[in-house]
Amino acid sequence: MTFTFGSRNITQDEATNRAKNIQTLQLNCTLFFEESLPHFFAMVTLTFTTKTETVTLDFTGASTFTSSLVNGTTGLVESLGSRGVVVVSGCTTDGTPNQVQLHYVGHTSAVSQGLQSYNSTSGERSLFSQGEPTGLSRWLPCCDQPSIRHALKLTVVAPAAWLLAANGPVESHTSADATTVRTYRDALRAAGAGTGDSADSSFARWEFAETPAIPPHTIALTGGDMHREEIAPLRVAQSAREIPLSIYVRKSVLASGETCVDDLRDILECAKASAVYFGELFGMP
């Protein structure tokens, strides 16, 4: 199996053909963030079955690739430009899952798509993602089209003071192992990204439950020095389940008086009322 990189996006016809050969793709991701850096370290495994020997993945989010494995075989590692694709050749077509493992130093986006970072005037840093229309491929390798669903299993190691949220509910939130943090920092340093935090900074490990297979543009991550506000969950009568409702806002926004807790709760109540109304019309997924 070979592993090569290109510098173009796929065409509409190529996207249509890709969707005929891959229906679902599993993303297993571990991301490491420091407080003061625009870069992050990522370890991503993509698992999929395909009917073709060659598969094109969308990805423009790597500053440097540190390693790659394709079905256990070492592949070519090369930095991409501002636009790019990853082409995996020699895939198995007999229904056996293919695995592509990529380790890389990623970077937050300077445009209104992808994973973006914000630094307030007080030095507070926060992260948020924008997936529409094709923003996921700016920070995670994927098949960035709605017709190919992605199941995401996400783990994030970040400063202990940060609050994080993603698509899946939190399965565990623990202190990060110091040896693991040192390994991730060494990977950033080796790629020339440096380390922006002091050596004794503390980190936490967040593990999120795997999502169902969802369109890639709906995959989301937010985090930082945030405040979380919640209201009573939405109860779905048909299935007797509860959907938690919460909203995240930077602490500096609350401190500045730009908004208040009552505003946040009003937003949540409006969202809850909308979900009830449209759920009665169309059914609750």
Q: Are residues 97 and 23 in the same domain?
A: yes
The answer to whether 105 and 37 are in contact (CB under 8 A) is no
Please tell me the total count of domains within the chain: 2
The last residue of one of the domains, among 224, 248, 276, is 224
Q: Are residues 113 and 234 in the same domain?
A: no
The last residue of one of the domains, among 204, 224, 244, is 224
CA distance 221 to 218: 10
* Residue 174 burial (10 A CB sphere; 0-12, 13-18, 19+): exposed
The answer to whether 12 and 129 are in contact (CB under 8 A) is no
User: What is the residue-level pLDDT of the chain in tens, covering all 285 positions?
Assistant: 445 555 556 788 888 999 999 988 999 999 999 987 788 999 999 999 999 988 888 888 877 888 887 788 775 444 344 446 787 877 889 999 999 999 999 988 877 789 998 877 777 888 999 998 889 999 999 999 999 999 999 999 999 999 999 999 999 999 999 999 999 999 998 888 766 665 667 999 999 999 999 999 999 999 999 999 999 998 877 767 788 899 999 888 888 888 899 999 999 999 999 988 988 888 776
CA distance 56 to 54: 7
Half-sphere exposure of 216 (CA within 13 A, CB side): 26
Could you tell me if residue 213 is left (phi over 0), alpha (psi between -120 and 50 degrees) or otherwise beta? Answer: beta
Question: What is the reported pTM?
Answer: 0.89
The last residue of one of the domains, among 224, 248, 266, is 224
For residue 262, give its domain range: 226-285
